Amino acid sequence: MHTAWYRNFQRDIDHCLPMQCSLCDQSCRPSSPDHLCALCRLALPLNTHACEHCALPPDGEEPRHLQSQRTDYANPICAACLSKPLADRALVPLLHAGPAAHLVHRLKFSKGEIEGLTLAQTMLTHVNMLPSAEHPDLLIPVPMAYWPAVRRGFNQSMALASHIAQALKLTVAADLLTRRRGPAQHTLSRARRQQLAAGSFQWRGQRATRRLQGAHVAVIDDVLTTGATAREIIKILRFQGAARVEIWCATRTPNPQA
């Protein structure tokens, strides 16, 4: 009862007081669910016409004004995914560049709650384009290794999953996988990430194996770079019986060699 009252009170306050844009700190509409002003929302680098299975953007991004004139919005399939698709579907609305990269950095390294809301809402905008019948049964955030999680005190993937689950009334299964300790992903080359990804995750949801049988799940992360982490997790989930596995991330690095 108290929690419901507080949420209603906070909602009323949010609608009455000016809201600051999470990028430029200028005032924006109190009803803005993504905490962005109109100009900053337009500045976000959209990941358009990306591969359906890995969200890799096509070579040579078109200028935004040309993208807006296109009427064919069917997602292509990249050469790699024609033979070995990363996931049944990859939903990654932004390119990891400019303001989108700034939002992810603030979320990950500064516990940016508002930035997390902004990224989650951007993801939800794209998820809501799908029929509700295509929503997953479970959201599985990418886990962090124990000591990095303790030092940072924050898992950005869990933050995104929580916001999305609350909006869509879905279940977050954060206790099915553990991650072994290793170097930070953003410090590694593509080849090194792929080498270390194998064996980095371990299934610990023995009691949940039946629950995963035939389930539709979405893996949640902040950045999709080489796809090595996602591929390893997807392999485990399929082995445990998941029928359909999607990858939902906030941003995608344009260059897979990054």
Where, residue-wise, is CATH 3.40.50.2020 in the chain? Answer: 44-252
Report whether 165 contacts 157 (CB < 8 A).
no
SS3 assignment, position 73: coil
Exposure on the CB side of residue 106, measured as CA atoms within 13 A: 16
Q: Is 60 left (phi over 0), alpha (psi -120 to 50) or beta?
A: left
Q: Please check whether residue 252 is in contact with residue 95, taking contact to mean a CB–CB distance below 8 angstroms.
A: yes
pLDDT in tens, the chain (258 residues): 455 554 555 555 555 556 788 899 888 776 678 889 999 999 999 999 999 999 999 874 444 433 444 444 456 899 999 999 999 999 999 999 999 999 999 999 888 889 999 999 999 999 999 998 899 999 999 999 888 888 888 899 999 999 999 999 999 999 899 998 655 555 545 555 555 556 689 888 776 677 788 999 999 999 999 999 999 999 999 999 999 999 999 999 986 554
Instruction: Report how far residue 222's alpha carbon sits from residue 229's, in angstroms, rounded to the nearest whole number.
Output: 12
DSSP state of 66: H
Q: Which residue has the tokens 């999953």?
A: 161
Sign of the four-CA dihedral 217, 48, 127, 3:
positive
| Tokens 């000591």, residue located | 147
Cβ-in-10-Å burial (0-12, 13-18, 19+) of 83 comes to: exposed
Class for the domain spanning 44-252: alpha beta
Whether this prediction's pTM lies above 0.85 is answered by no
Burial of 235 by CB count in 10 Å (0-12 exposed, 13-18 middle, 19+ buried)?
middle
